[in-house]
Amino acid sequence: MNFVELKSGKSVEGDEIKAFRSELKGPRYLYLMAGVHGDEVEGVYALQQMFEWLKQQDDLDFPTIVIPVLNPDGYRSGSRTNSHGVDLNRNLPAKSWVSEQRSDRYNPGQAPLSEPENQFLDKLFQKFPPHLIITLHSWKPMINYNGDCKDVADLLNLYNSYPVVADIEGHPTPGSLGDYGPEKYQSPVLTFEFPVIDDNNDLKSIWEENRIGFETLLQSDLVRAQTKSS
């Protein structure tokens, strides 16, 4: 696949937020994104590997947007939040957004879409409408789906046996992408939670555990059907 670099967004501190679009355009796009939380390096590494693999596949071509790191300030500092201390995955203008926060980790910001990183993301959604959003995180291994993409979650589950969940019990996510994508853009959202680095896991082993599943998914009719739908 061939990609072109889009005009970058800017973080709170003025860092570039890079984004790439496949040369093939379409009415709807597959989104692959990571680094929403700057301390979740596992997803950033996995997307780097996935992106490099995609660029080597001459037989694949479907409308795609890749955002390697949405929160570059947080990624640089190893912080979950951006430089305003806002959790970008609680700051989107879904109907579920609330001003209250459970802790500093989940600060929703002063208002929905108050943060420049999410403003850039939403502008991309408006210009290149999503049909499926895959966002890579790390916490405890699971495949969380919102909207009509359980088939995508089930396919990945065949290769890693991570739990497939529609809702995370005891862990509300107001103002999240999982709420906003289906609600505003009629786009399902798959939030993939990698295991975190520990004494038994490093970045390479975490990716290798999931590589075949993602490569199979990106070669499947599930992805092509999603991006070709109008």
Q: What is the CATH number of the domain that holds 59?
A: 3.40.630.10
Q: Order of strands across the sheet with 164-165? A: 3-5, 20-22, 64-67, 29-34, 130-139, 189-195, 142-146, 164-165
Q: Are 92 and 124 in contact (CB under 8 A)?
A: no
DSSP 3-state assignment of 195?
strand
- The DSSP H or E segment spanning 16 is strand 16-17
Question: DSSP letter string over 82-112?
Answer: -TTS--GGG-S--TT--S--SSGGG---SST
DSSP 3-state assignment of 6?
coil
Question: Residue 223: its pLDDT value, please?
Answer: 85
Handedness of CA 30, 181, 114, 140 (dihedral sign): negative
d(CA 202, CA 196): 8
Report CA 174 to chain centroid distance, whole Å: 16
92: its two tokens: 């989107």
Q: Are 193 and 141 in contact (CB under 8 A)?
A: yes
Contacts of residue 122, defined as CB under 8 A and 6 or more positions apart, other chains included, come to 92, 113
Per-residue pLDDT of the chain (230 residues; tens, 9 = 90+): 999 999 999 999 999 999 999 999 999 999 999 999 999 999 999 999 999 999 999 999 999 999 999 999 999 999 999 999 999 999 999 999 999 888 889 999 999 999 999 999 999 999 999 999 999 999 999 999 999 999 999 999 999 999 999 988 778 899 999 999 999 999 999 999 999 999 889 999 999 999 999 999 999 998 876 666 44
pTM of the model: 0.96
Tally of domains within the chain? 1
Q: Are 63 and 69 in contact (CB under 8 A)?
A: no
d(CA 199, CA 128): 41
Question: Residue 180: its pLDDT value, please?
Answer: 98
State the residue range of the domain holding 24.
3-228
